[in-house]
Amino acid sequence: MLSQGLYDAILAGDAKNAEAAVHEALAAGVNPAMLIADTMIPAMDAVGKLFEEEEYFVPELLLAGRAMKAAMEPLRPLLAAAGAKPAGVILVGTVKGDLHDIGKNLVVSMLEGGGFEVHDLGADVAPEKFIAAIREHKPQIVCLSALLTVTMPAMKTTIAAIEQAGLRGEVKVLIGGAPINEQYAHEIGADGYGASANDAVSLARTFIGKAA
Ligand code: B12
Protein backbone atom coordinates (compact mmCIF):
# COMPACT_ATOMS: atom_id res chain seq x y z
CA MET A 1 0.00 0.00 0.00
CA LEU A 2 1.48 3.33 -1.08
CA SER A 3 -0.30 5.37 1.59
CA GLN A 4 -1.90 3.65 4.56
CA GLY A 5 -2.85 7.11 5.89
CA LEU A 6 -4.82 7.87 2.73
CA TYR A 7 -6.51 4.45 2.79
CA ASP A 8 -7.51 4.91 6.43
CA ALA A 9 -8.73 8.48 5.85
CA ILE A 10 -11.04 7.38 2.99
CA LEU A 11 -12.40 4.56 5.14
CA ALA A 12 -12.95 7.00 8.00
CA GLY A 13 -14.62 9.50 5.63
CA ASP A 14 -12.07 12.10 6.68
CA ALA A 15 -11.74 14.45 3.69
CA LYS A 16 -9.20 16.75 5.33
CA ASN A 17 -6.78 13.97 6.22
CA ALA A 18 -7.33 12.24 2.89
CA GLU A 19 -6.24 15.35 1.02
CA ALA A 20 -3.32 15.88 3.40
CA ALA A 21 -2.19 12.28 2.85
CA VAL A 22 -2.28 12.81 -0.92
CA HIS A 23 -0.06 15.87 -0.61
CA GLU A 24 2.31 13.88 1.58
CA ALA A 25 2.47 11.01 -0.92
CA LEU A 26 3.06 13.41 -3.82
CA ALA A 27 5.84 15.14 -1.90
CA ALA A 28 7.41 11.70 -1.40
CA GLY A 29 7.39 11.24 -5.18
CA VAL A 30 4.48 8.79 -5.51
CA ASN A 31 3.00 8.55 -9.01
CA PRO A 32 -0.60 9.98 -9.04
CA ALA A 33 -2.13 7.24 -11.21
CA MET A 34 -0.50 4.56 -9.07
CA LEU A 35 -1.80 6.17 -5.90
CA ILE A 36 -5.35 5.95 -7.27
CA ALA A 37 -5.00 2.34 -8.40
CA ASP A 38 -3.04 1.07 -5.41
CA THR A 39 -4.66 2.92 -2.52
CA MET A 40 -7.81 4.88 -3.39
CA ILE A 41 -9.78 2.32 -5.41
CA PRO A 42 -9.06 -0.46 -2.87
CA ALA A 43 -10.19 1.90 -0.08
CA MET A 44 -13.48 2.54 -1.87
CA ASP A 45 -13.87 -1.20 -2.51
CA ALA A 46 -13.42 -1.78 1.22
CA VAL A 47 -16.08 0.86 1.94
CA GLY A 48 -18.43 -0.99 -0.43
CA LYS A 49 -17.79 -4.28 1.39
CA LEU A 50 -18.42 -2.71 4.80
CA PHE A 51 -21.70 -1.36 3.44
CA GLU A 52 -22.68 -4.78 2.17
CA GLU A 53 -21.82 -6.29 5.56
CA GLU A 54 -23.98 -3.62 7.23
CA GLU A 55 -21.02 -2.25 9.15
CA TYR A 56 -21.39 1.02 7.22
CA PHE A 57 -24.61 2.83 6.37
CA VAL A 58 -25.47 5.63 3.94
CA PRO A 59 -23.88 8.47 5.97
CA GLU A 60 -20.53 6.62 6.08
CA LEU A 61 -20.78 6.01 2.33
CA LEU A 62 -21.37 9.68 1.68
CA LEU A 63 -18.45 10.71 3.87
CA ALA A 64 -16.16 8.17 2.18
CA GLY A 65 -17.30 9.51 -1.20
CA ARG A 66 -16.46 13.04 -0.11
CA ALA A 67 -13.05 11.97 1.18
CA MET A 68 -12.42 10.28 -2.17
CA LYS A 69 -13.40 13.47 -4.00
CA ALA A 70 -11.16 15.62 -1.80
CA ALA A 71 -8.27 13.21 -2.42
CA MET A 72 -8.86 13.45 -6.18
CA GLU A 73 -8.60 17.26 -6.21
CA PRO A 74 -4.79 17.60 -6.01
CA LEU A 75 -4.36 14.62 -8.35
CA ARG A 76 -6.61 15.82 -11.16
CA PRO A 77 -4.33 18.55 -12.60
CA LEU A 78 -1.32 16.23 -12.36
CA LEU A 79 -3.08 13.49 -14.28
CA ALA A 80 -4.16 16.00 -16.90
CA ALA A 81 -0.67 17.48 -17.20
CA ALA A 82 0.77 14.08 -18.07
CA GLY A 83 -0.78 14.23 -21.55
CA ALA A 84 0.18 16.65 -24.32
CA LYS A 85 -2.43 17.69 -26.92
CA PRO A 86 -5.85 16.06 -26.64
CA ALA A 87 -5.89 12.50 -27.93
CA GLY A 88 -9.60 12.91 -28.63
CA VAL A 89 -12.82 14.29 -27.20
CA ILE A 90 -14.92 12.24 -24.77
CA LEU A 91 -18.21 12.85 -22.97
CA VAL A 92 -18.77 11.13 -19.66
CA GLY A 93 -21.87 10.92 -17.48
CA THR A 94 -23.82 8.75 -15.06
CA VAL A 95 -27.20 7.92 -16.57
CA LYS A 96 -30.57 9.32 -15.57
CA GLY A 97 -31.83 8.37 -12.12
CA ASP A 98 -28.41 7.33 -10.86
CA LEU A 99 -26.48 9.52 -8.43
CA HIS A 100 -23.36 7.36 -8.08
CA ASP A 101 -20.46 9.38 -9.40
CA ILE A 102 -17.33 8.13 -7.67
CA GLY A 103 -16.46 5.56 -10.36
CA LYS A 104 -17.47 7.99 -13.09
CA ASN A 105 -15.18 10.63 -11.58
CA LEU A 106 -12.32 8.13 -11.67
CA VAL A 107 -13.05 7.41 -15.31
CA VAL A 108 -12.93 11.16 -16.00
CA SER A 109 -9.63 11.56 -14.16
CA MET A 110 -7.98 8.59 -15.84
CA LEU A 111 -9.12 9.74 -19.28
CA GLU A 112 -7.81 13.24 -18.56
CA GLY A 113 -4.59 11.59 -17.45
CA GLY A 114 -4.57 9.66 -20.72
CA GLY A 115 -4.52 12.96 -22.59
CA PHE A 116 -8.17 13.17 -23.67
CA GLU A 117 -10.30 16.31 -23.63
CA VAL A 118 -13.10 15.22 -21.29
CA HIS A 119 -16.48 16.84 -20.77
CA ASP A 120 -18.02 15.60 -17.54
CA LEU A 121 -21.81 15.92 -17.58
CA GLY A 122 -22.11 14.79 -13.97
CA ALA A 123 -24.62 12.30 -12.55
CA ASP A 124 -28.34 11.75 -13.23
CA VAL A 125 -27.87 12.85 -16.84
CA ALA A 126 -30.97 12.70 -19.07
CA PRO A 127 -30.59 11.44 -22.66
CA GLU A 128 -31.44 14.93 -24.02
CA LYS A 129 -28.48 16.34 -22.12
CA PHE A 130 -26.14 13.78 -23.70
CA ILE A 131 -27.52 14.68 -27.12
CA ALA A 132 -27.10 18.42 -26.61
CA ALA A 133 -23.52 17.83 -25.42
CA ILE A 134 -22.72 15.60 -28.42
CA ARG A 135 -23.90 18.41 -30.72
CA GLU A 136 -21.88 20.98 -28.77
CA HIS A 137 -18.58 19.16 -28.19
CA LYS A 138 -18.52 16.68 -31.10
CA PRO A 139 -16.89 13.84 -29.13
CA GLN A 140 -15.68 10.62 -30.72
CA ILE A 141 -16.70 8.68 -27.62
CA VAL A 142 -19.52 8.81 -25.06
CA CYS A 143 -18.98 6.98 -21.75
CA LEU A 144 -22.04 5.97 -19.73
CA SER A 145 -21.85 4.86 -16.11
CA ALA A 146 -24.53 3.12 -13.99
CA LEU A 147 -24.30 1.55 -10.53
CA LEU A 148 -27.90 0.49 -9.98
CA THR A 149 -29.65 -2.41 -11.68
CA VAL A 150 -32.71 -0.14 -11.94
CA THR A 151 -30.79 2.49 -13.91
CA MET A 152 -29.11 0.04 -16.33
CA PRO A 153 -32.07 0.41 -18.75
CA ALA A 154 -31.37 4.16 -18.88
CA MET A 155 -28.19 3.23 -20.79
CA LYS A 156 -30.32 1.55 -23.43
CA THR A 157 -32.69 4.54 -23.54
CA THR A 158 -29.74 6.91 -23.92
CA ILE A 159 -28.28 4.91 -26.80
CA ALA A 160 -31.72 4.79 -28.46
CA ALA A 161 -32.10 8.55 -28.07
CA ILE A 162 -28.67 9.15 -29.61
CA GLU A 163 -29.74 6.95 -32.50
CA GLN A 164 -33.04 8.80 -32.91
CA ALA A 165 -31.21 12.11 -32.96
CA GLY A 166 -29.23 10.79 -35.94
CA LEU A 167 -25.95 10.91 -34.01
CA ARG A 168 -25.24 7.21 -33.43
CA GLY A 169 -22.86 7.06 -36.38
CA GLU A 170 -20.81 9.92 -34.96
CA VAL A 171 -19.89 8.38 -31.62
CA LYS A 172 -18.75 5.15 -30.04
CA VAL A 173 -20.58 4.37 -26.80
CA LEU A 174 -18.68 2.75 -23.91
CA ILE A 175 -20.48 1.58 -20.80
CA GLY A 176 -19.36 0.59 -17.32
CA GLY A 177 -20.21 0.42 -13.64
CA ALA A 178 -20.42 -2.39 -11.09
CA PRO A 179 -23.57 -4.18 -12.42
CA ILE A 180 -22.57 -3.92 -16.10
CA ASN A 181 -20.90 -6.61 -18.17
CA GLU A 182 -19.83 -7.34 -21.70
CA GLN A 183 -23.02 -9.23 -22.48
CA TYR A 184 -25.19 -6.31 -21.40
CA ALA A 185 -23.16 -3.98 -23.60
CA HIS A 186 -23.80 -6.31 -26.51
CA GLU A 187 -27.53 -6.57 -25.69
CA ILE A 188 -28.14 -2.82 -25.70
CA GLY A 189 -25.98 -2.05 -28.71
CA ALA A 190 -23.09 -0.30 -26.93
CA ASP A 191 -19.71 -0.44 -28.65
CA GLY A 192 -17.78 -1.59 -25.61
CA TYR A 193 -17.70 -2.38 -21.90
CA GLY A 194 -14.92 -1.58 -19.45
CA ALA A 195 -14.57 -3.01 -15.95
CA SER A 196 -12.32 -0.23 -14.69
CA ALA A 197 -11.25 3.35 -15.27
CA ASN A 198 -8.06 1.99 -16.82
CA ASP A 199 -10.16 -0.02 -19.27
CA ALA A 200 -11.91 3.20 -20.25
CA VAL A 201 -8.53 4.63 -21.29
CA SER A 202 -7.39 1.59 -23.27
CA LEU A 203 -10.78 1.21 -24.99
CA ALA A 204 -10.83 4.92 -25.86
CA ARG A 205 -7.35 4.61 -27.34
CA THR A 206 -8.42 1.60 -29.40
CA PHE A 207 -11.58 3.26 -30.70
CA ILE A 208 -10.00 6.59 -31.49
CA GLY A 209 -7.08 4.84 -33.14
CA LYS A 210 -9.54 2.92 -35.29
CA ALA A 211 -11.51 6.05 -36.11
CA ALA A 212 -8.42 7.97 -37.19
C1 B12 B 1 -20.84 4.95 -2.53
C2 B12 B 1 -22.18 4.31 -2.77
C3 B12 B 1 -23.30 5.14 -2.69
C4 B12 B 1 -23.22 6.65 -2.45
C5 B12 B 1 -22.83 7.33 -3.79
C6 B12 B 1 -21.98 8.56 -3.57
C7 B12 B 1 -21.44 9.08 -4.86
N8 B12 B 1 -21.25 10.38 -4.89
O9 B12 B 1 -21.21 8.36 -5.82
C10 B12 B 1 -24.67 6.98 -2.00
C11 B12 B 1 -24.77 6.90 -0.48
C12 B12 B 1 -25.24 8.32 -2.48
C13 B12 B 1 -25.44 5.80 -2.57
C14 B12 B 1 -26.81 5.84 -2.77
C15 B12 B 1 -27.54 4.73 -3.16
N16 B12 B 1 -27.09 3.49 -3.34
CO17 B12 B 1 -25.20 3.05 -3.42
N18 B12 B 1 -23.50 2.38 -3.25
C19 B12 B 1 -22.29 2.91 -3.07
C20 B12 B 1 -21.18 1.82 -3.02
C21 B12 B 1 -20.87 1.50 -1.55
C22 B12 B 1 -19.88 2.12 -3.68
C23 B12 B 1 -19.99 2.59 -5.13
C24 B12 B 1 -18.64 3.14 -5.52
O25 B12 B 1 -18.44 4.34 -5.50
N26 B12 B 1 -17.69 2.24 -5.80
C27 B12 B 1 -16.31 2.60 -6.07
C28 B12 B 1 -16.12 2.96 -7.53
C29 B12 B 1 -14.66 3.32 -7.77
O30 B12 B 1 -16.45 1.82 -8.29
P31 B12 B 1 -17.46 1.84 -9.54
O32 B12 B 1 -18.47 2.92 -9.39
O33 B12 B 1 -17.92 0.46 -9.80
O34 B12 B 1 -16.55 2.32 -10.74
C35 B12 B 1 -15.47 1.59 -11.26
C36 B12 B 1 -15.85 0.63 -12.40
O37 B12 B 1 -17.18 0.13 -12.29
C38 B12 B 1 -15.59 1.43 -13.63
N39 B12 B 1 -16.64 2.28 -14.21
C40 B12 B 1 -17.64 2.98 -13.65
N41 B12 B 1 -18.32 3.65 -14.57
C42 B12 B 1 -17.75 3.39 -15.77
C43 B12 B 1 -18.06 3.82 -17.06
C44 B12 B 1 -17.29 3.36 -18.13
C45 B12 B 1 -17.62 3.82 -19.50
C46 B12 B 1 -16.21 2.47 -17.91
C47 B12 B 1 -15.42 1.96 -19.06
C48 B12 B 1 -15.89 2.05 -16.61
C49 B12 B 1 -16.67 2.51 -15.56
O50 B12 B 1 -14.51 2.28 -13.29
C51 B12 B 1 -14.55 2.61 -11.91
C52 B12 B 1 -13.14 2.62 -11.38
O53 B12 B 1 -12.39 1.52 -11.73
C54 B12 B 1 -21.90 0.62 -3.74
C55 B12 B 1 -21.46 -0.79 -3.29
C56 B12 B 1 -20.33 -1.35 -4.12
N57 B12 B 1 -19.56 -2.22 -3.52
O58 B12 B 1 -20.19 -1.04 -5.29
C59 B12 B 1 -23.37 0.89 -3.40
C60 B12 B 1 -24.52 0.42 -4.33
C61 B12 B 1 -24.08 0.66 -5.78
N62 B12 B 1 -25.64 1.27 -3.95
C63 B12 B 1 -26.72 0.63 -3.93
C64 B12 B 1 -27.98 1.22 -3.60
C65 B12 B 1 -29.16 0.28 -3.50
C66 B12 B 1 -28.11 2.60 -3.38
C67 B12 B 1 -29.41 3.36 -3.05
C68 B12 B 1 -30.67 2.93 -3.84
C69 B12 B 1 -29.59 3.23 -1.53
C70 B12 B 1 -30.87 3.78 -0.97
N71 B12 B 1 -31.65 2.84 -0.48
O72 B12 B 1 -31.11 4.96 -1.01
C73 B12 B 1 -29.03 4.82 -3.35
C74 B12 B 1 -29.36 5.23 -4.81
C75 B12 B 1 -29.20 6.69 -5.10
C76 B12 B 1 -29.27 6.94 -6.59
N77 B12 B 1 -30.44 7.34 -7.08
O78 B12 B 1 -28.32 6.75 -7.31
C79 B12 B 1 -26.55 -0.84 -4.32
C80 B12 B 1 -27.05 -1.14 -5.75
C81 B12 B 1 -27.77 -2.46 -5.82
C82 B12 B 1 -28.26 -2.72 -7.18
N83 B12 B 1 -28.00 -3.94 -7.62
O84 B12 B 1 -28.82 -1.92 -7.86
C85 B12 B 1 -25.02 -1.07 -4.09
C86 B12 B 1 -24.38 -2.13 -4.99
C87 B12 B 1 -24.87 -1.47 -2.60
C88 B12 B 1 -25.54 -2.79 -2.25
N89 B12 B 1 -24.83 -3.89 -2.27
O90 B12 B 1 -26.71 -2.82 -1.96
N91 B12 B 1 -24.64 4.77 -2.80
Mean of the per-residue pLDDT values for the chain?
91
Q: What integer pLDDT is reported at residue 52 of this predicted model? A: 81
- Range with the poorest average pLDDT among 22-36, 80-94, 96-110: 80-94
> Of 50, 81, 112, which residue sits at a domain end?
81
- In this structure, the answer to whether residues 109 and 73 fall within a common structural domain is no
Q: Do 127 and 63 fall into the same domain?
A: no
For the Cβ of 93 lying below 6 angstroms from any atom of ligand 1, the answer is no
- In this structure, the answer to whether residues 99 and 191 fall within a common structural domain is yes
* Banded pLDDT at 212 (limits 50, 70, 90): very low
Q: Which residue's C-alpha comes closest to atom 17 of ligand 1?
A: 100
Query: In the chain, how many H helices and how many E strands?
Result: 10, 5
User: How many angstroms is it from 192 CA to the middle of ligand 1?
Assistant: 20
Clarify whether residues 141 and 166 are in a common domain.
Answer: yes
Stretch 80-100: mean pLDDT, rounded? Answer: 84
Q: Which of 110, 145, 147 to mutate to test the pocket of ligand 1 (most atoms within 8 A of CB)?
A: 147
Q: Could you report the per-residue pLDDT of 102-112, keeping only the tens digit for each?
A: 889 878 877 87
Instruction: Classify residue 28 as left (phi > 0), alpha (psi -120 to 50) or beta.
Output: alpha
Bridging pattern class, strands 141-145 and 117-120: unpaired
Query: How confident is the model over 35-82, as pLDDT tens digits?
Result: 988 999 889 889 888 988 999 988 898 898 889 889 988 988 887 666
CATH of the domain at 76: 1.10.1240.10
User: Is 73 found in the same domain as 119?
Assistant: no
What size, in residues, is the chain? Answer: 212
Q: What is the pLDDT of residue 80?
A: 67
Report the residue among 41, 100, 199, 206 best suited for mutation to probe ligand 1: largest number of ligand atoms under 8 A from its CB. Answer: 100
**Residue 143 beta carbon below 6 angstroms from any ligand 1 atom:** yes
Say yes or no to pLDDT of 195 above 90: yes
Supply the CATH number for residue 154's domain: 3.40.50.280
Of the pLDDT bands very low, low, confident and very high (cuts 50, 70, 90), residue 21 is: very high
CA distance 30 to 15: 19
Q: End-to-end alpha-carbon separation of the chain, Å?
A: 39
Tens-digit pLDDT profile for residues 155-190: 999 999 999 999 999 999 999 999 999 999 999 999
Regarding whether 151 and 130 lie in a shared domain, the answer is: yes
Supply the DSSP symbol for 42: H
Residue (of 100, 198, 192) closest to 147 by Cα position: 100
Atom of ligand 1 nearest to the CA of 177: 37
Q: What does the pLDDT read at residue 175?
A: 98
Q: How many distinct structural domains can be found in the chain?
A: 2
Radius of gyration of the chain (CA): 17
Residue 206 CB less than 6 A away from ligand 1: no
205 and 106 inside one domain: yes
Least Cα distance to 11 among 97, 71, 89 occurs for 71
Q: Which domain holds residue 103?
A: 89-211
